A and B are shown apart, each in its own frame.
Chain A
Amino acid sequence: MKIYSSLKSGFLRTLNAGKSILIVWFCIFILVLVFVFPLRRSLTSAFGDSMITEKLADGINIEAFTDLGPVFKNIMSFLTAGLMFTFLAGFLLNSFLTAGLFGSVKNDSMKFSPSEFFSAGALNFKAFLLISLLITLIIDFGFILIVVAPAAIVSLSETASDKSLFMILFITGVVFLLVIPLMLLVADYSRAYKTSDPAVSAFSAIGKGFSLAFSGFRRSYMMMLLLIVAQIMLGVIIVLLLPAWRPVTGGGVFLLLIVSQLLFILRLFLKTWRYASVSSMMNEITAEKVKDYVKIDVNQTETVLPPATEGV
């Protein structure tokens, strides 16, 4: 029930945070456009007035691209550098935007204005950056420890078969995937806690994040799994729809752009739902702790105070 109530509360909070989601979408759209727009210009200029683009009607044609010669190498360099730059800039931007989003969904009654979104983003930017960085490093280190190291050890063996290596990769991969929701919980609880109490440091928030993740582990983990499943379902729809959709007219391409952006906004909605549900779950866990604390206090007073004071 607590999972359901958190998800429901999270969903309502997310609906209230519609404007914030649109701000996040717009910022990421602009960031990516900075990289993609010159790429698009380079591609159209490289192919010029050639009809080889007919070969691209059915999808990527490697031969057509490699015929670009040195221009292809330049485009690939631009693509690689652009992706790296976008990722790094995105990391910084994401910390700011996520802080704004957590601010938008921190309680049920929030009516959030864009200015409040940006002020929440600015207030917690540094702490969110640190939390994201540390949790990302923990995940990366975990990947090396759980997946890479066993596979490397097995592959060094002279008698190792392909199957044993594959099985090791499969099993450790599954283990790693099971660890991911936990790390997401820690990250989300840390950030939700930091949002609820801006005075605490990032490290304290991470400590609290671990504490919250494990204090209500079963329900938190189950809730996170459900939220991830929802995101995976959207991912499946996207993978089935977008790559296979190959419009060849200008209007079709524009429609593709609109649909893909709507899907991305939906993705942001689901991610915000995750933040909001975790925030809601944190409120519940915290409330329970307060309740427990009060109960203990009441029991203690029972032995001290006369019955007339019960219920105070």
Chain B
Amino acid sequence: MKIRLVLIIILSNIFLSLYPQIVNKKPLSERITGYRFDVRLNPDKHTVSGDMEAFWVNRSADTVPDIRLHLYMNAFRSNRTTMYREMGGSPGNDEKDLGWIEINSFSDQNGADLIPRMQYISPDDGNKDDRTVLRVLLPQPAMPGDTVFIKVNFETKLPSRIRRTGYSGDFYFVAQWFPKFGVYEPAGMRYATKGGWNCHQFHATSEFYSNHSVYDVRITLPSSHVIGSGGMLISEKADGNMKTVTYRAEDIVDFAWTAWPGYAVFNDKWKHVNITLLIPKDRIKQAERQLKSVKHALEYLDTNVGPYPWPHLTFADPPSTGAGAGGMEYTTIFTSESSYFVPPFIHLPEMVTVHEFGHAYFMGIMASNEFEEPWLDEGVNSYWEQRIMDNYYGKNSGLLNHKFLELSDIASARISYVTSPSRQAASNNEYSWNYPHDTYSMMSYQKTATWLHTLEGIIGTETMNNVFREYYRRWAFRHPSGRDFINAVNDVVRKEHGQKFGADMNWFFDQTLYGTGICDYKVSRIVNSKYSKPEGKTDTADPEAGAWSNTDSLYTSKAQLERVGEVKLPVEVLIHFDNGDEVLESWDGKERYKDFEYKGYKQIVWVKIDPEYKIKMDVNFINNSMTTEPSKAPLHRIANKIMTFTQFFLSIMLL
């Protein structure tokens, strides 16, 4: 009787909370998982504790014997966890510094105690000291269509050395704070050949992978703390020096929140989206910049990719003591990075804001697996961030816009890739923690963005936009893989360009995404040979006599080109002659070398491969061109300025 009562209460609570639509007019996702929390922040112990009720629906045709949950906060238990082993360092030795999650009770819909059925597993590396993945054997296997309900009482201790999550003084950024379902992937989903849980450990370089869920969250915390979250505020009740806030979030992959007495709150609106910015009170001068940049990102992605569906968006700029929480994304809440004074010509705060907001699309809406294919969220998102920054802040000055020094965001990414000594150490197709030689960031962010800009250069900007619109249409609120993205590219390119680029674009991805080669084309030589008339004892007539009225000023001109790198991409070649003529040639770029030869009363003055610098993957733009009349003036000017600078520097520094 008691069990039945508990079951009814749990079911009615969860169903009541999940079925009404509060945030969106209709469900955007399948909502395979859902969560309800009633928790309390203890500012003395730096803990968040309370109850969680959650469900997982077995939408597969498999009989599933267990469930798997992420306990991410356990990565901060010691320096022996996988995360700390991978990145070095330590979460600290003091109890106040460590982070962990303790499960006090764990039961199913029948009230059965599941604690004896819990087992910490380490599917990635077998590390026994890592407790970030929990397997719970179900009393009865979940049959196809079954819903597994769980009720957990837990306590999460936040770490003091913030790495995405934690506390500093009275500042809190609370993320990865609750037991969270992994993703059950039936055979055929993404790369799964048989059904199973996709639930990786918490790694130093990896991020996350979750189902779109509904969250009902009740948080009790000190009244002095200003709180913001990825949910929509439903109610706020004060009770003495504590307050209880209730949030509702729908169809997001993670729920995070932040609380700090030092926040100033700014509200703004873009179309249907209510934007909330939480920013340290001493940085309120930065608020306008931040709000402007997020509205740019909303507008650009809404236009070129697809609609932002939620009516709310919150972002926070953590204080400098909590900077470890900066630059992170949780779909409807993200963190930026700024400081009290950032000169207006430096667009780093805007860049971080645009980037982190972009994740609302690339892993928020298109919920790819960040553990296994980091390029599909970080790389794709970096590509869009760079387009947005250069579009709104200047084609050549997206990142840095000073009259003496400019830098575009696209160029910045390319520089990072081109100058990396390990740019060929691995392909892009690696699990996030498997990138060798510290190449995770360069490979998953910058190399990917660079080859996506190259793809845009080949197929055109409008086709690229249509690729992403199609990708959005097919995969919004689902779990796409890299292969699904490539399929979208192939289908759209075929539809818009026919066979111009071949049967598909796989040749491109084989070299860029799956390959390790570099792209480098160069002009090796310009040859202008004056026609030589036959001399001596020749047996044939002058071959040019008759064809050319005057062979005295007749030239044979050659542009000699070479492919230095392994990557073969089609390129354009612009050739300029001394009489002003210009010829635009195409080269499929497949052979190791290519000569373009011309005969006439003109000589080649200069040759440019890829004259518009569309092939961003080319690791050396310097050898892309050659001229017979080089201009050294800019270099001499730079040398002169260095000399003048040095003279003045000496004069000022020496008494």
B635, A246: Cβ atoms closer than 8 Å = no
Quick one: which of A53, A158, A163, A268 contacts B634, CB cutoff 8 A? A53
A40, B636: Cβ atoms closer than 8 Å = yes
> Does B623 belong to the interface (CB within 8 Å)?
yes
Docked CA distance A98–B655 (Å): 9
Quick one: which of A69, A83, A158, A247 contacts B633, CB cutoff 8 A? A247
> Does A77 belong to the interface (CB within 8 Å)?
no
A243, B404: Cβ atoms closer than 8 Å = yes
Docked CA distance A268–B415 (Å): 40
B358 to chain A, nearest CB (A): 23
B635, A47: Cβ atoms closer than 8 Å = yes
B642, A39: Cβ atoms closer than 8 Å = yes
What mask results when residues 605 to 644 of chain B are scored 1 for a CB within 8 Å of chain A, else 0?
A: 0101000000000011111111110111111111111111
> Does A178 belong to the interface (CB within 8 Å)?
no
A55 to chain B, nearest CB (A): 8
Selecting from B50-58, B112-120, B405-413, the interface stretch reads B405-413
Given contacts A44-B632, A47-B635, A51-B606, contact A187 B655 (CB under 8 A): yes
> Does B105 belong to the interface (CB within 8 Å)?
no
> Does A56 belong to the interface (CB within 8 Å)?
yes
Docked CA distance A190–B374 (Å): 65
Quick one: which of B262, B283, B419, B642 contacts A66, CB cutoff 8 A? B419
Docked CA distance A160–B419 (Å): 37
In the complex formed, the residue of B with least CB distance to A158 is B169
Docked CA distance A136–B650 (Å): 13
Residues from chain A with a CB closer than 8 A to the CB of B13 are none
The dominant DSSP class at the A interface is helix
A2 to chain B, nearest CB (A): 24
> Does A238 belong to the interface (CB within 8 Å)?
yes
> Does B319 belong to the interface (CB within 8 Å)?
yes
B647, A29: Cβ atoms closer than 8 Å = yes
Number of contact residues on B: which range applies?
35 or more
Docked CA distance A135–B653 (Å): 12
Given contacts A63-B621, A162-B320, A264-B651, contact A250 B636 (CB under 8 A): yes
Residues from chain B with a CB closer than 8 A to the CB of A187 are 655
B418, A66: Cβ atoms closer than 8 Å = yes
> Does B223 belong to the interface (CB within 8 Å)?
no
Docked CA distance A249–B634 (Å): 8
A61 to chain B, nearest CB (A): 8
Q: Please report which residues of chain A, range 50-91, place their CB below 8 angstroms from some CB of chain B when the two chains form the complex.
A: 50-54, 56-60, 62-64, 66-69, 79, 83, 86-87, 90-91
Docked CA distance A87–B654 (Å): 9
A162, B340: Cβ atoms closer than 8 Å = yes
> Does B168 belong to the interface (CB within 8 Å)?
yes
Residues from chain A with a CB closer than 8 A to the CB of B648 are 238, 264, 267
A36, B643: Cβ atoms closer than 8 Å = yes
Residues from chain B with a CB closer than 8 A to the CB of A58 are 406
Q: Which residues of chain B have a CB within 8 Å of any CB of chain A?
A: 168-169, 262, 280, 282-283, 319-321, 339-341, 403-407, 411, 414-415, 418-419, 606, 608, 619-628, 630-644, 646-651, 653-655
The 4 closest A-B pairs by CB, nearest first: A162-B340, A163-B282, A40-B639, A56-B634
Given contacts A28-B651, A256-B641, A260-B640, list 4 more A-B pairs with CB under 8 A: A79-B642, A98-B655, A243-B403, A246-B634
Subset of 28 A-B contacts with CB under 8 Å: A39-B639, A44-B636, A48-B626, A49-B628, A51-B608, A53-B631, A60-B404, A64-B622, A67-B620, A69-B620, A91-B654, A98-B655, A136-B655, A162-B280, A162-B319, A162-B340, A187-B655, A243-B404, A247-B637, A248-B631, A249-B633, A250-B636, A252-B637, A260-B644, A264-B644, A264-B651, A267-B648, A268-B651
